[in-house]
Chain A
Amino acid sequence: MNTAKHTFHGGIRPLEHKEDSNTTPIEIAPIPPMLVLPLQQHSGPTAKPCVTEGEYVYKGQMIANAADASGASIHASSSGYVVAIEARLVAHPSGMADTCIVIETDGLDAAIETSGHPNWRNLNRVELLDILHRSGIVGLGGAGFPTARKLNTDSIDTLIINGTECEPYITADDLCMRERAADIIRGCEILKYIVGANSVIVGIEDNKPEAIESMGKAMPSSPDWKLVTFPTKYPSGGEKQLIEILTGRQVPRGGLPANIGIVCQNVGTAFAVKEALEDGKPLISRITTFTGQALSRRGNLEVRLGTPVSYLLDYMGYTEQKVPRLIMGGPMMGFALPDATVPIVKTTNCILAPDTNELPLPKPAQPCIRCGFCAEACPASLLPQQLFWHSKSSNFDQLDKHALDDCIECGVCSYVCPSSIPLVQYFRASKHEMRMRRNEQQQADKARERFEARQQRLEREALEREATRAARKAAAKAKAAESSRFADEADPVQAAIERAKAKKARLMQQSQQGAQMNAESALDSLKTKLAAQQSTLQQAEADEKSEKITTALQASIRRLEQQIAESETKPPSKDVEE
């Protein structure tokens, strides 16, 4: 066992509250009467359902197909009938509804026949990645990035296994490492084999002695395998921060760990990889921490994906609070649930049900005193006080200059701010707006290019027409001169007619161009309106405006989007005439 020699800039040491939930073993949660499986539980394209309403499904059966290599499939987490494929409220900070497959369980938990590949070393990398992809494995530590996609990279030297779990309260990885170290290590071996890494570093914060011990025992004693511990500090579990702690190197800005020969995987993911390959078990359950003073029992449950949070809260003895608040994820980066009925998904590592005193309600913000505490603590070495200032004045150039994009939204700045300014909230809103603007800019550029290309074509065509006409005219003239000696007298009339025609053509072309321009600018103004509405919506959400306002905004955004779609598909009138 080694201790890390490096650290990262800033960071904080909040109260850990780990003992609240790490004193009891992992318990298997019961089968709920209803499972709600969202088609989008990962980052990437939404999965496509491959079952129909009314169909009987077995545990482990694939019920939604990954759209492509960058997606993840969904499997039934118990047996029963598919009763609906419809929009349900899902775990998303905006309180969004999304398509879910709803299964009414029959309690039999009848599993589909599967076979694992205990001799996975006989398979090649493509086959292994395919199995992981079909098993719906995604990163269980954070954003839910499809694992097969992340592993599909070359020239990896080091595989880093993240057992940090730096967020307060969460102990899911801790318990997993204590109880399932051997399986995790087998998963690591598979991962190492797939990416062709030379060495493996398992990084664990020093506040988990039991986990460190059991992982150390399970690890092969080879110089290629290292277990490194480091002092507890949030957010040392952030991928970039962990890499710096363990290797002293930084992932280049805008780059991936793979750029410096590193790939990171979470311990929970390593466990899921082992199950998928050796046991043929797709990702249908995960370990989730249930903690907070509003629960009479706190601990870790292995839950079936799709289990409604409310069902599990009852199971853990939830007492209704005066100001009820449920947080999915940890207190630093998790989000407050819009509703308790939302299901557990692949990325749900914790449900925190605090009582009224446990997590303070946000205090009213005071003016920024520019104390710089935030900058001292920011793990990305940014200047949050400047970002705040420029966010408030929507100064996007300066936000770019101060590298807002490098903010990992860890919440450290808000945590230390003596003025209780919700800095991260501002940063999220500004990032969103900057993304929108970039998209819009791209679209505007595309539209302009289209318009200019069309303009050029029209001019070219007009010139060509003019040229043929001139040629015809010259030919006719020559013929006339040859055939008639009155040719000179006919000429003025002919010229007048010609002039009139040319004028008409010119006018027509102008009006057509006008129509085109109008259509384009109408579209543009629709888009600006849409952007404005979307940012108000964002703001409204950030401000926790009433549901009525947000739904109204959402409706108007949908309307605008429809209009834009219509006018984009409808060819401008001119084309029809042509």
Chain B
Amino acid sequence: MSLMRTSSPHLSAANPVQHVMQQVLLALIPGLIALIHFFGPGVIFNLLAACGFAVLCEALVLRLRGYDLRFFLSDYSALVTGALLAVSIPPYSPWWLIFIGAFFSIVVAKHLFGGLGQNPFNPAMVGYVVLLISFPVYMTHWTAPSDLANTPGLLQSFASLWSNEYYDGTTMATPLDLMKQNEGQMLTFLYANNPQFGSYAGLGWEWVNLGFLAGGLWMLHKKLFTWHGPVGMLAALGILSALFYDDGSSASGGSPLFHWLSGATMLGAFFIITDPASGATSNLGRLLFGAMVGVLVYCIRVWGNYPDAVAFAVLLLNFCAPFIDYYTIPKPYGTEDSQS
């Protein structure tokens, strides 16, 4: 009898990469629903186009690198990147904008650095930042939420995908812009004078962030990542905004709730900084990583030049992750301070 020789362990828990990625995609659903509800069907076309282009780019590169397409495409990682890019860019973007974003995400940020798991920078954020810098006009025009203006219908949305012009329906300054440009108004007046504000933050945006928060908590429950990154980021952001809240005066940077529920905060906290490849490795490292992202997000939002800051903050910290790792190797069993 010739016996098969395998190396221990001979058991394995089946939560393969594809399941992990599928769970991330599922977790995006509540946030997506909110986005679609408030910003219309353009979000769907964004999503379809970005995912399609991402998978296309992934397939091309895999083919060029001589990898087994079926094996490597089945890990769903390109879909996740595509989806994250899609929810970051304004709805009703033209196809080529989305394509460029997907190209930079997948080809440059992911594969030029070695592929899955080896990307030092978050692929979706690289794509987003390239677009933001190259096409600021397109990238800073967010449609007004559906409560304030009519969102385009399906056909119109589809058409905008193919038009060369950026969608020029009703776009409005986002709450983050308003907060930054606020000169001399108490926050209560700022909220009252601008219909873009809801109860705590931007109309619609509150719900979008709550949606991503819900998905994020579900992933936390599923143990897809540890609490350290998100808690670090949200805590730092909360503390800073509380410090500089200034009782809602005209010099205020906005309340903690405003910052938590604005822009890409929750998306960043649960879907972006939790990307393990470009983040820090140990729990302490992730806590630091998250906290520093939180600090940077606040600084850029309040004193910087860009409306939202998550992408820049994340990319900067991606750069620091190896250093964080270097100084935060956990103490192994048997070292005094590793005792529980």
Which residues from chain A sit less than 8 Å from chain B, CB to CB? Answer: 6-9, 12, 14, 93, 95, 168, 240, 244, 248-255, 310, 320, 323-327, 329, 331-340, 352, 354, 359-364, 366-373, 375-376, 379-383, 385-386, 401-403, 406, 409, 411-412, 414-420, 422, 424-425, 542, 544
Contact digits for B203-215, partner A, Cβ 8 Å, 1 yes 0 no? 0000000000000
**Across-interface contacts of A168 in B (CB, < 8 A):** 11
Q: Does B155 make an interface contact (CB < 8 A)?
A: no
Enumerate 11 A-B pairs (CB-CB under 8 Å) in ascending A order.
A8-B340, A9-B333, A249-B339, A331-B8, A352-B10, A371-B224, A372-B276, A406-B333, A415-B12, A417-B12, A542-B7
Closest to B224 in A: A371
| Contact, CB under 8 Å: A331 / B11 | yes
| Contact, CB under 8 Å: B71 / A364 | yes
Q: For A372, A403, A406, A412, which residue has the most chain B Cβ atoms within 10 angstroms?
A: A372
B225 vs chain A, min Cβ distance (A): 7
Q: Does B137 make an interface contact (CB < 8 A)?
A: no
8 A Cβ contacts from B150-172 to A: none
| Contact, CB under 8 Å: A381 / B333 | yes
Q: Does B4 make an interface contact (CB < 8 A)?
A: yes
Contact digits for B76-90, partner A, Cβ 8 Å, 1 yes 0 no? 010000000000000
Q: Does B15 make an interface contact (CB < 8 A)?
A: yes
Contact digits for B8-39, partner A, Cβ 8 Å, 1 yes 0 no? 11111101110110000000000000000000
Q: Does B112 make an interface contact (CB < 8 A)?
A: no
A234 vs chain B, min Cβ distance (A): 10
The residue that A415 contacts in the complex, of B11, B276, B281, with Cβ under 8 A, is: B11
Q: Does B231 make an interface contact (CB < 8 A)?
A: no
Q: Does B226 make an interface contact (CB < 8 A)?
A: yes
**Across-interface contacts of A332 in B (CB, < 8 A):** 8-11
| Contact, CB under 8 Å: A335 / B117 | no
- 9 further interface pairs, Cβ-Cβ under 8 Å (given A8-B333, A240-B334, A336-B8): A251-B333, A324-B4, A333-B8, A363-B16, A369-B17, A371-B20, A379-B333, A418-B20, A542-B7
Q: Does B282 make an interface contact (CB < 8 A)?
A: yes
The residue that B281 contacts in the complex, of A386, A409, A542, with Cβ under 8 A, is: A386
8 A Cβ contacts from B77-126 to A: 77, 115-118
CA distance A372 to B340 in the complex (A): 20
A366 vs chain B, min Cβ distance (A): 5
| Contact, CB under 8 Å: B6 / A6 | no
**Across-interface contacts of B77 in A (CB, < 8 A):** 369
CA distance A329 to B319 in the complex (A): 45
Contact digits for B270-293, partner A, Cβ 8 Å, 1 yes 0 no? 000000110001100000000000
CA distance A252 to B334 in the complex (A): 4
CA distance A6 to B339 in the complex (A): 10
**Across-interface contacts of A359 in B (CB, < 8 A):** 10-11
- The 5 residue pairs across chains A and B that have the minimum distance between CB atoms: A411-B9, A253-B334, A370-B276, A403-B332, A325-B4
Q: Does B329 make an interface contact (CB < 8 A)?
A: yes
| Contact, CB under 8 Å: A325 / B6 | yes
CA distance A408 to B338 in the complex (A): 16
| Contact, CB under 8 Å: B8 / A411 | yes
| Contact, CB under 8 Å: B331 / A325 | no
The residue that A333 contacts in the complex, of B9, B329, B335, with Cβ under 8 A, is: B9
| Contact, CB under 8 Å: A338 / B3 | yes
CA distance A252 to B338 in the complex (A): 10
Which residues from chain B sit less than 8 Å from chain A, CB to CB? Answer: 1-13, 15-17, 19-20, 71-72, 75, 77, 115-118, 223-226, 276-277, 281-282, 325, 329-335, 338-340
| Contact, CB under 8 Å: B13 / A385 | no
| Contact, CB under 8 Å: A383 / B11 | no
With contact pairs A325-B6, A380-B332, A401-B329 given, residues A369 and B116 touching in the complex (Cβ less than 8 Å): yes
CA distance A9 to B20 in the complex (A): 23
With contact pairs A335-B8, A338-B3 given, residues A366 and B334 touching in the complex (Cβ less than 8 Å): no
Closest to B19 in A: A418
**Across-interface contacts of B331 in A (CB, < 8 A):** 381
B323 vs chain A, min Cβ distance (A): 14
**Across-interface contacts of A95 in B (CB, < 8 A):** 5
**Across-interface contacts of A93 in B (CB, < 8 A):** 7
| Contact, CB under 8 Å: A368 / B117 | yes
With contact pairs A168-B11, A369-B77 given, residues A361 and B6 touching in the complex (Cβ less than 8 Å): yes
With contact pairs A336-B4, A381-B330 given, residues A424 and B9 touching in the complex (Cβ less than 8 Å): yes
With contact pairs A324-B1, A325-B6 given, residues A14 and B116 touching in the complex (Cβ less than 8 Å): no
| Contact, CB under 8 Å: A340 / B1 | yes
| Contact, CB under 8 Å: A385 / B281 | yes
| Contact, CB under 8 Å: A240 / B333 | yes
| Contact, CB under 8 Å: B1 / A415 | no
CA distance A340 to B75 in the complex (A): 38
**Across-interface contacts of A250 in B (CB, < 8 A):** 333-335, 338-339
**Across-interface contacts of B224 in A (CB, < 8 A):** 371
**Across-interface contacts of A337 in B (CB, < 8 A):** 3
CA distance A253 to B149 in the complex (A): 66
| Contact, CB under 8 Å: B5 / A338 | yes
Closest to B338 in A: A381
The residue that A424 contacts in the complex, of B7, B20, B329, with Cβ under 8 A, is: B7
**Across-interface contacts of A354 in B (CB, < 8 A):** 10
CA distance A222 to B172 in the complex (A): 79
**Across-interface contacts of B13 in A (CB, < 8 A):** 12, 14, 415-416
| Contact, CB under 8 Å: A336 / B5 | yes
**Across-interface contacts of A372 in B (CB, < 8 A):** 225-226, 276, 281
**Across-interface contacts of A409 in B (CB, < 8 A):** 8
| Contact, CB under 8 Å: B10 / A369 | no
| Contact, CB under 8 Å: A414 / B12 | yes
CA distance A184 to B319 in the complex (A): 59
CA distance A383 to B326 in the complex (A): 12
CA distance A250 to B223 in the complex (A): 27
| Contact, CB under 8 Å: A255 / B334 | yes
CA distance A326 to B4 in the complex (A): 8
B18 vs chain A, min Cβ distance (A): 8
The residue that A414 contacts in the complex, of B9, B117, B276, B329, with Cβ under 8 A, is: B9
CA distance A371 to B115 in the complex (A): 15
| Contact, CB under 8 Å: B117 / A369 | yes
**Across-interface contacts of A335 in B (CB, < 8 A):** 7-8
**Across-interface contacts of A361 in B (CB, < 8 A):** 4, 6
| Contact, CB under 8 Å: A336 / B12 | no
B56 vs chain A, min Cβ distance (A): 20
**Across-interface contacts of B334 in A (CB, < 8 A):** 240, 250-255, 406
| Contact, CB under 8 Å: A376 / B9 | no
With contact pairs A327-B10, A402-B329, A542-B7 given, residues A420 and B335 touching in the complex (Cβ less than 8 Å): no
**Across-interface contacts of B5 in A (CB, < 8 A):** 95, 325, 336, 338, 544
B198 vs chain A, min Cβ distance (A): 35
Q: For B71, B72, B334, which residue has the most chain A Cβ atoms within 10 angstroms?
A: B334
CA distance A401 to B332 in the complex (A): 10
Closest to B71 in A: A364
B61 vs chain A, min Cβ distance (A): 14
**Across-interface contacts of B226 in A (CB, < 8 A):** 372, 376
CA distance A134 to B3 in the complex (A): 36
**Across-interface contacts of A251 in B (CB, < 8 A):** 333-334
**Across-interface contacts of B1 in A (CB, < 8 A):** 310, 320, 324, 340
With contact pairs A332-B11, A333-B9 given, residues A367 and B329 touching in the complex (Cβ less than 8 Å): no
